[in-house]
Structure 1
Amino acid sequence: MTTTSVRARPWTRSALLAIELRAARLHEHRGLIELARKIGVNKSTLSAWEHAERTPHIEDVAGILGALGVVGEHKARILELARHPDSESIIFGRRGLPRHFAVAEVCALAAERIVDWHPLLVPDLPRTVDYATSVARYSPPRTRSKVEHVHAHCDANSTILNEKNVCVYIGEQAFTHPLGDANVVAEQLRRLIRIQQTNRRVSVRVVPIDVGSHVGFSGTFTAYQTGVGQIVHRPLSCCGEFMLDGDGLYTNLDTQLGDTALTATDSAAFIARHVMRLATAAS
């Protein structure tokens, strides 16, 4: 089995492939030495593949997946990454099969820190099922399978919030012009307050509308700081684009948001005021 030469910085597909391979091995509780021996490569080679220092050929990837017993949609997703690995970005997903949800979850599990930003809505990670379902119904295409995937995705996000360091940035417009039923939005805002109060690893901060409009030109994004680099997920309706933050654009946006957002304490008070406003409007 052969590998490509070492790169100073991996391509996006190579980075995602490395994350997926490591996640698959850990999910099956296989040690690095054990798996390397089973597929007939050196431990150092397998480690280099899992850290995006080298890129395995698709035959090597297929051998790893076979040894781990990875099948079905999971196998197809990883093999897709192994094809044409020299790519700056990749878009996952099609109607009825939002593969990008699964890729985002694997990136989140590999991340040391996550930044979740939306200028107009509550971002993805802290959404309640009802709020996420409401957003999905307003966003084309409107399909039942899309909503079903949203439910599973929310469950996975709850686990991620409990395990990772997360900074959630929410544009002020998400509160001044909320989407959907007032009771659904109010419960979503209450959840943001509960997260802030009970989870010290998660920060929820409101970005003033003038700053949010400026940073919002970059669009919605979730940034995952991983061992193979910062991977950025940009949602696009029922699919999602993933890319490495090679030029540091999203790192700079994270800094801008952090410098200009309300403090966590002030954000909690801001959110509480809007909960009261929505409760009054719904009564």
Structure 2
Amino acid sequence: MTKTPKARALGGALRAAREERGLKLRELATKIERDPGILSRWETGERTPKPENVSRILTELGVNGVRYDGIMTLAYRTDEPQWAATTLPEQRQQLAAFLDYEQNATKIIEVAPLLVPGLLQTSGYIRAIMSAGGVPVGDIATRIAVRIGRREVLAKENPAQLVALIGQGVLFHGVGGRSTAVEQVKYLLEMARLPNVDLRIIPYHSGWHPGLEGPFTLIESEQATPVVLLETRRSGLCLHQDGDVNAYREAADMILRVAMNSDESMRLIAEIANRLEKEDG
């Protein structure tokens, strides 16, 4: 059976909790009276423990409170073909799983018709989005640090390949005010020069294309099956079945056909950066 993203997330959470307690796999298996091989497969996501087994493991490891509730949300409907996260605890677990996929990615396709993709956002742009979006002031600095840390996947040895398909209107939204917009557009130009970043602008008047249906992220990895993440303001949907992933691959290909090529995109971004900088001055 293919590991589902939710099963991998559950296994990773159980493994992290065990390692934090300093217990070897065999030691925990003895304590909960389970075969070490079964426990190992639970931690890798190859098999799914029943909720009562998850509860017993967490209790043995002294996990409680919010963390207990969050991990327990992963113990139900783990083998379903789609992972819909509608509660805050499960959204947090889904985000953690997504970040794990992202950091182990070989290729990431970001379709972003309305906002700059997360991997290409400046700290000022992130702050403006979060402030306007009602994120508690005390949480903003931490969230900015997490999002900035995600860029490592593009700068490390053997970095992921990023294909960013960005709507032309994104360059003109002025998120955060003029100076923030100038910084962000210039940063896009800087990142577009990286050999592992293919940044394409989807021009106005390009007709219908799947990007008009909304943003999505497709992640490919050598360590796991490809996944697609769709986000709304109140929920997230993670897809991993071949038919679903292939549908979004085809959507990305359709958008690539109407997007500007890399050189045209860079020229447009440079032109807009110069224009905004002059207006700012």
**TM-score in terms of structure 2 length:** 0.76
Deviation at residue 204 of structure 1 after TM alignment? 2.0
Cα shift readout 1:75-124 (whole Å, capped 9, x = no counterpart): 543332123313322215639x9555433312212333222221011111
Deviation at residue 280 of structure 1 after TM alignment? 1.7
Is 1:205 the counterpart of 2:200? The answer is yes
The SS at the match of 1:209 is: coil
1:51, 1:212 → 2: CA distance? 44
Name the count of aligned residue pairs. 270
Per the alignment, residue 17 of structure 1 pairs with: 10
1:239, 1:133 → 2: CA distance? 21
The SS at the match of 1:39 is: helix
Per the alignment, residue 264 of structure 1 pairs with: 262
Go from structure 1 to structure 2 and tell me whether the alpha carbon gap of 1:86 and 1:157 turns closer, same or farther (over 3 Å shift). Answer: same
Structure index of larger Rg: 2
**Which among 177, 185, 193 is matched to residue 181 of structure 2?**
185
Q: 1:35, 1:67 within 8 Å by CA — same for their partners in 2? A: no
**Which among 207, 211, 222 is matched to residue 216 of structure 1?**
211
Cα shift readout 1:203-223 (whole Å, capped 9, x = no counterpart): 222222344852223311222
Deviation at residue 58 of structure 1 after TM alignment? 3.6
What's the C-alpha RMSD, in Å, of the aligned pairs? Answer: 3.6
Is 1:85 the counterpart of 2:78? The answer is yes
**Which among 117, 121, 124 is matched to residue 115 of structure 2?**
121
Is 1:240 the counterpart of 2:240? The answer is no
The SS at the match of 1:155 is: helix
- 1:121-200 to structure 2, matched below 5 A, reads 121-139=115-133, 141-145=134-138, 147-163=140-156, 164-165=159-160, 166-197=162-193, 199-200=194-195
**TM-score in terms of structure 1 length:** 0.75
**Which among 245, 264, 271 is matched to residue 273 of structure 1?**
271
The SS at the match of 1:241 is: strand
Per the alignment, residue 39 of structure 1 pairs with: 29
1:74, 1:268 → 2: CA distance? 44
Q: 2:182, 2:277 within 8 Å by CA — same for their partners in 1? A: yes
Deviation at residue 48 of structure 1 after TM alignment? 4.4
The SS at the match of 1:205 is: strand
Go from structure 1 to structure 2 and tell me whether the alpha carbon gap of 1:27 and 1:148 turns closer, same or farther (over 3 Å shift). Answer: farther
Go from structure 1 to structure 2 and tell me whether the alpha carbon gap of 1:108 and 1:276 turns closer, same or farther (over 3 Å shift). Answer: same
Go from structure 1 to structure 2 and tell me whether the alpha carbon gap of 1:47 and 1:94 turns closer, same or farther (over 3 Å shift). Answer: closer
2:18, 2:270 → 1: CA distance? 41
Deviation at residue 194 of structure 1 after TM alignment? 1.8
The one-letter amino acid paired with 1:225 is: E
2:250, 2:257 → 1: CA distance? 11
Per the alignment, residue 3 of structure 1 pairs with: none
Q: 2:189, 2:270 within 8 Å by CA — same for their partners in 1? A: yes
**Which among 243, 252, 270 is matched to residue 250 of structure 2?**
252
Q: 1:126, 1:157 within 8 Å by CA — same for their partners in 2? A: no
2:257, 2:17 → 1: CA distance? 39
Q: 1:12, 1:86 within 8 Å by CA — same for their partners in 2? A: no
The one-letter amino acid paired with 1:190 is: K
Structure 2 unmatched runs, 5+: none
Deviation at residue 62 of structure 1 after TM alignment? 5.6
The one-letter amino acid paired with 1:39 is: A
